[in-house]
Structure 1
Amino acid sequence: MTAPVAPGAATGDPATVLLLPGWQNSGPTHWQSRWEALHGDRRVDQHDWMRPLRGDWSMRLEEEVLAAPGPVVLVAHSLGCILVAAWAAHSRHTQRVRAALLVAPGDLERDDLRQAIPGWAPIVRQRLPFPSLLIAANDDPYCAAPRARQLAQDWGARFVDAGARGHLNGDSGLGDWPEGRGWLAELLKD
């Protein structure tokens, strides 16, 4: 089986699209699961979706980045976005990442989320060493819009306000989310 190819990859080596779901994984109606089925993107499976440990999750991402036959594109949702920042701060293999699409980061420094998902605060805030685009809704229950904008700024990511769409997950009614796929293709043209 050939590696999934990122859209817009015709201008260079094909890139493997790695899907990074958040806490509790992405269910069948989530756009990440639909992209996996439609486009052949590869989900980074974690050992424990219910009790995520930052070190374990980072190691799994490192393994997948190194296992890819060429460059990778990271497509993260929620806790997956926080994972990208944590991983990038410690990995010596960030040059293998062509770009990252960061969708609906969770604010793990908020008291309720910090208690539900311990060990992830403080959020790593250093600039990402690869091009990135952060997409967030202005009514996300897990991250206030100004906070999402600040994370984008800290990470050096371009910011897109997706409007009133909640957590941009299966409950948001995005279906196959062609708009998100379009943003990914745009990101890869840069």
Structure 2
Amino acid sequence: MLSVAAAGHSLDIRLEGAVSLFVGEHFPVDVAVTSADGDVTVAELIATGPAVVAFHRLWCPFCQQAARDLEQAGEQLAAAGARVAIVYRDDIDTVCTSCAERGLTADCFSDPLQELERATELERFSLGRYAMFSPMRLIRVLRSGSRAGKVTSDVLQGRGTFVVDRDGRIVYAHHAVTAADIPPIDDILAAVRAVAGGAGA
């Protein structure tokens, strides 16, 4: 599922039964997640610019690819004044260790009670759609450095990526419909630059 606003227009494609937040809606900025230094709210992340908030699973090879995409675009996102926050269900020590091992410089957070995840109304994967992707996509992400780890959360735990502007408004939303459904990094960059006034373009 994809929802994106560009040049004053909004494209909103929802699957039947979807309840996740979409473009134009307010992100739950006051819900705290845990960092290595303590609790942080999204409101703090967007205090100086937009934020990319991505809900990932540590053990998922496609999530690892999505994190690498964000890492590779890190300089461009930073040039536009954006913070990148990747949120996991695992405890913060496990999250920090994994992110350090993978060389991620993005802010990695723990949401073990799924408070932010629930507030975002992130939709779980449909059992029928979860594995509807070409096996070649899995082979490609494994070859590019992903690892299929031990499942540490609900297999059907949803994955979503949001760009949130300084007012807490969602300007880009991507809701994965299969395990391999990764948001295009160019779309994320475009959304960030649009609300940053073209900085970093």
More helix by share: 1
More strand by share: 2
Please report the TM-score for the alignment, with normalisation by the length of structure 2.
0.28
Please report the TM-score for the alignment, with normalisation by the length of structure 1.
0.29
Which protein shows a greater Rg?
Answer: 2
Which has the higher relative contact order, 1 or 2, with Cα contacts under 8 A spaced 6 or more apart? 2
